[in-house]
Amino acid sequence: MVEPVAVLALAVEAVIGWPNALHRRIGHPVGAFAAIIAWCEKTWNRPESAEGWRRLAGILCVLLLLILAVGGGLLLEQGLRLVAGRWAWIGITLMAVPGMAAGSLYRHVRAVAVPLHDRRIEDARAAVSMIVGRDTARLDEAGVARAAIESLAESFCDGVVAPLFWLMLGGLPGLWAYKAINTADSLIGHREPRWRAFGWAAARLDDLLNLIPARLSGLLLCVAGGGGWGTMLRDAGRHASPNAGWPEAAMAGALHFSLAGPIAYDGVAQDKAWIGSGRSDLSADDIDAALRVYLRACLLLGLIAGLFAWRLS
């Protein structure tokens, strides 16, 4: 019953996104999760507390998020069905739209390519800083392009494939449970001492929820890019994440790029392994090429989801 809703939500978000006027008036649902996570972290993750308590507090934070996301999703779905009957799918689709990010991801990455084409490196750095966590102030053209393409590949899983997967599998409760945990992982699922214990549950659960979608993302990117299978299978494990390496290696292999490599976070250099064996001196043209692969992968995903919807209808 949710499959046609999932395809429609993906399409609506790709076309109109989450309008700025709406964002100014009511914010974004993910912002509510972020506020809850921030409150839990400030209240429960005290540096003087024992590591065991901080880990338990992180588990409680995750449970609170799941209760709110799943409970809220169920209330919305059932309420819409009671009020709107056979037209409930319209409301459910609209409630699912902000959980998707196919269009917004394209627009954010395209916003990096445009100034890079015009040799406006400072503007390109500012644009890429909106979508990556690494230090961007000293990135050259190749560094900016690699950062944008890596974010595009990884976020294809987090922002497109995984939300659609969990929406099709669990309706609004599944979608918003995934978004809550993914938001928690991005905010507190880090290895630094401050978050290592408190964010442990969020990071591990996010790994589990992305296990299948990440591999599906890699498969779709290889098909859309016309290759990259060998690189994906060889290099996916070089990423620190058990999941992010799959779409990133697929994109690198499909376009014959080298991605990742040494980067810096908060002024600390990290000697990350290279993913892929192609060239690393990337440019705005290469971002455009990656966006074309991404668009084809999104269309392929929508087609597959539509076929499932048709078969199950």
Residue 159's pLDDT is: 96
Cβ-contact 55, 201 below 8 angstroms: yes
What percent of the residues of the chain are helix, what percent strand, and what percent coil, each to the nearest 5? 75, 5, 20
Cβ-contact 29, 175 below 8 angstroms: no
With a pLDDT cut of 90, the percent of the chain lying above it is 81
Q: How far apart are CA 101 and CA 18, in angstroms?
A: 9
Choose among 103, 150, 157: nearest CA to 131.
150
Q: How far apart are CA 75 and CA 77, in angstroms?
A: 6
Cβ-contact 147, 265 below 8 angstroms: no
Q: Which domain holds residue 120?
A: 3-312
Domain count, the chain: 1
Choose among 281, 245, 240, 261: nearest CA to 140.
281
Cβ-contact 62, 203 below 8 angstroms: no
Residue 262's pLDDT is: 80
Among 76-80, 130-134, 167-171, 211-215, name the most confident range.
211-215
Residue 1's pLDDT is: 45
Residue type, 293: V
Kindly report whether the global pTM for this prediction surpasses the value 0.95: no
- CA-CA-CA-CA torsion for 33, 61, 215, 192, nearest 10 degrees? 100
- CA-CA-CA-CA torsion for 38, 39, 42, 44, nearest 10 degrees? -120
pLDDT reading at 137 higher than 60: yes
